[in-house]
Structure formats: C-alpha cells, structure tokens
Amino acid sequence: MVLLVLAISSKRAVPRLSVAAYTTAATVQTALEAISRSNAHLNLFASHIAQNNIEAHSNTPCDGPLKGWPVAIKANIATSEQPTSCASRALQDYVSPYQSTAVEALARAGAVVVGKTNMDEFGMGSTNEYSIYGAARNPREPNTNSTNKQQYRHSPGGSSGGSAAAVAAGMCRVALGSDTGGSIRVPAAWCGVVGFKPSYGCISRHGLVAYASSLDAIGVLARTVDDVRTAFQAMSVPDSRDMTCMSERLRTRINVLSRSRKWINYISKDSSTHALPLTGIRVGIPHEFWVEELSQAALDSWRSGADKLAMLGCEIVPVSLPHIPDSLPAYYTLAFAESSSNLARFDGIRYGTRSSERPSTEKANASLKYANTRSEGLGKEVQRRILLGTYVMTASASEQYHVLSQKIRRIVQQEFNAVFALPNALLPHSTESIILTNRPSGVDALLFPTTTDTAPLLGSADLNPVSSYVSDIMTVPANLAGIPAISVPVGADGAGMPLGLQLVTQYGDDSLLLRIASHLQSHC
C-alpha cells in the first residue's frame, strides 16, 4: 500500500514538453525540407528521396487513411527502392528485391516513404552508436538550435534511435521501428515521442531482418497516440508469409474477449453516463519496477502519471510480478542465442559484402573466406553478441543458460497472465472462461517508467557496454511475454530532457492500450 499512496498522492511538478511537439503534422514537402536542413548534423537518415522527386513517390490511393503522410522506415525493414543495410558493412549496398508486408500496407493506405533511418547495427544496441553511418543524435538537446552536430551531445536511444529522432525533428509524421527488448520504446522516451510495440504477431515480420525471431516486433513511432493508432490499424492484418503473424481466427477470438468486458465496454458505450473517460479501468503499479537505478525524475513522472490516470477515472492498485528481476538476464541469453543463429546467413556468399582478402596459401579453405568476410562486415557489438550466443547454445552451457532462460520466460508470461483481468487469448478455453457479469480481480493495464533516466551522453556505451544492457531493464519483460507496450511522453526533467511512461496490457489487448495511452498523453 505504500507504493499506491506514493503513486497517486505526490504533487511534485513534472515539466511539460511544448504542445507544438504533439500537434505539428509533417507533410512530405516539410519533411524533406527538415531532412535537408538538419540531417547533416543529426545523422538520422541513412538514405532519403530527393525533394525534386516527390511526384514519383506519391502514387497512392486518394482515400487512404495515411494519404500523403511522410513515413520513415528503419534500415532493417525491407524496401525495394532504398538499401536495407541494417547499418552494417555486411549489407551496406543491399537493396531488397521485395517490400516488407508492413511497408506494403502503409503504401496501400497512402503513405509516402521518405527514407531509411539510422540504427544500431542489426538492432543490437541501446544508444544508436553501433552504426556504419556514425551515431545518431537526439534533437531534443536543451537550449540548442544549432547546425553544429557537436552541440547535440545526447543519444536518441537504440536501436530505433533514427526513427524516433526523425519523428521528434519533424522529418516524418510516422516512423517504423523494430522492438526486440525496448528498441522502440526507449528511443521514444528519450526523444519525447510516442513509441508502440504491438502484441507479438499483430504486424507481420515478413521483410524484417531478424535479430531474435521470438522477440522481434515491428512497431510505430509518432508524435501522437492517434497517429500511432492510424498507422497500426493499416498494418495489423494477417499475412501467410509470416508463420508467426496472428491468424484471422485468433484476431476474432481476441475481439470477442475484449468486447465481453462489461466493466469497461458497457460504461464507454452508455451515452447517458457522465463518467470520467477511463472509468471502470483498473491500472496496476508493479513494485518490482521500483529499481535502485530509477532516477528521481523518472520516479516523479511515474507518480504524476498515476495521479493523472486516477483523475481520469482509473482505479490505481498495487500488483506484484516477482520474477521481473530475472527477466533481463533471461532476455539477453535468449536474444544472443537467436542472433547467433539468425546472423549466420551473412557470409557474403549469396548476397552482401564479401571480403576481398585472398588466402595466404593455396591450402586455405573456404572457411577462411567466411571468417574474413564476417570479421570485416560485422561490428564489434554484433560480434560480441554472436560469440556469447554461440557459447550459451553449446552442449556444456545450454542447460545452465538457455534452457533456464526459457523457463524464466514462461514464468514471466504466467505472472502477467495472473495479474491481468482479461484471459490470454492464446490459452486453451480462454473465450469460455471469461466472466461476463462480475469483474475479475485482476487489472486491465500496468503503468511504470519506460527508462530509469533520461537520455545519456553519446559515448557512454563504449565506456561500459554492460551499462547499456541494464538500460533495457524496464522494457524487456513485455517482449518476453509477447504483450503490447507503449511509451508516452510525460514531460521532461529539470534540464529539459524528455521522459516517458510505459503502459502494458494483456496479449491482444492493443486497442485498450492505445485508448488509455491517448487519454494519458492528452493530460500530460
């Protein structure tokens, strides 16, 4: 109960970001002008279309919900006109022969792809510094309106830092990113924008270059939750090309479950009621996220956010997820193991950059060519993660590390299922077990900080790589469980750097998550 009282009673002020940051909608022309004006010192785009070539990229349907929206695509999501480099020397000039399903869906909805954004190589990083293009820079630098890149000292976050910063800098209206352990939500929090990771399988991963296939998700970054929702709805469709994408049958099952909650849906549909907009919704505050690394600014934003939700009608209650502290090591063990397997294909033989070094002797075999190609083509952080992943999959270490991490993952999933009122649609008989008349004891959403602090200075990851791993402590549980999560900008610290609050809901409950997030953003 101590946490509950602290969460909703604090009156400490949290500085707000400019309202203009949420209301200005970029057009293709203004987006390209912003790229031309600022990309040289912010380094957010790896490639982009020319301003004099807009017409060639605007062949879109007249009635699409995203008609004329400029969108940016992370460099690990396939497009057929610009390189899908993953910010790696191994794929530096690689142009995909096909479009990803997500990009196809955006194009059908009327969006215009203005460019591919900078990122950590193959999505492996938390600060957007492990890139062949150099570090991306955070445009939210306090009291800076300079064209000197040295004035922009803070990281935009990784690995989708280029996408988040491009939205913050007005270089696009919506950007796509990928989220394996927080790679959308952390940059969103540090750049002061909205970052949404949907339920695993909502958006097809066809065309996403895999890092850790059981954890990866394509998600959306924008200035407002409403823009995120519009883009998400355009992309959230079944896709037979991705075996992990939700089927139509599962989507129907999820809709039946979500609409059966009388404690939420009946109140919202009753036009005669004068209830607050979020009346009937119960939000949990998990005390395990009150970690030692949590800064005072992040703690204040958490208290303020809980207070805002209470004023909007939510019931705020304490909850416990005992195995959250174990999720970070489990996540990295699983992610590294899967990356070791997924990145084995980048050998320079079928596609990508191949080493030009010749074997020193005639006896040298092809394995030396492979080794040279991978040593030259993959950066130090990628090599580190591949080596660690290969080790944890060896016969001597698999039982101790990989198998144990899978067990922890299952426990984390079970603990999330236990605290949510809505049953998990993936579980047997979940549709039949829903209580239609009386409200279950669980919560509808959870609230906690997106990051432990504001954006760090560039260069910190090189000084201590392990510290950059720890920065994901607040975000990786949602990936382990496959549940939707969103980071909403809630203001800034005393120095003016943005902060984000994270909301998560049950698997498949993406619509409720976006509804709560929209109200939270409008009141922060």
Question: φ, ψ for residue 464 (rounded to 5)?
Answer: -150, 90
Residue 380 annotated as catalytic: no
Residues 353 and 378 sit within 8 Å (Cβ to Cβ): no
Residue 2 to residue 10: CA distance in whole angstroms: 12
Q: Which residues pair with residue 499 across a beta bridge?
A: 491
- Our measurement of the distance from residue 286's CA atom to the centroid of its chain's CA atoms, rounded to an integer in Å, reads 21
The one catalytic residue among 38, 74, 339, 468: 74
Residues 208 and 77 sit within 8 Å (Cβ to Cβ): yes
Residues 57 and 113 sit within 8 Å (Cβ to Cβ): yes
Residue 302 to residue 314: CA distance in whole angstroms: 15
Residue 130 to residue 82: CA distance in whole angstroms: 21
H/E segment holding residue 516: helix 510-522
Residue 494 to residue 388: CA distance in whole angstroms: 39
Residue 444 to residue 49: CA distance in whole angstroms: 43
Residues 520 and 503 sit within 8 Å (Cβ to Cβ): yes
Could you please report the per-residue DSSP string of 288-302?
Answer: GG--TT--HHHHHHH
Using only C-alpha atoms, the chain has a radius of gyration, in whole angstroms, of 22
Residues 210 and 216 sit within 8 Å (Cβ to Cβ): yes
Residue 183 annotated as catalytic: yes
The one catalytic residue among 38, 160, 183, 468: 183
Q: Write the Ramachandran bin of 142: left for phi over 0, alpha for psi from -120 to 50, otherwise beta.
A: beta
Question: b/e string for 326-336 if b means 16 or more Cβ within 10 A?
Answer: bbbebbbbbbb
Residue 159 annotated as catalytic: yes
The one catalytic residue among 159, 301, 304, 460: 159
List the structure tokens of 163. Answer: 């996408």
Active site residues: 74, 159, 183
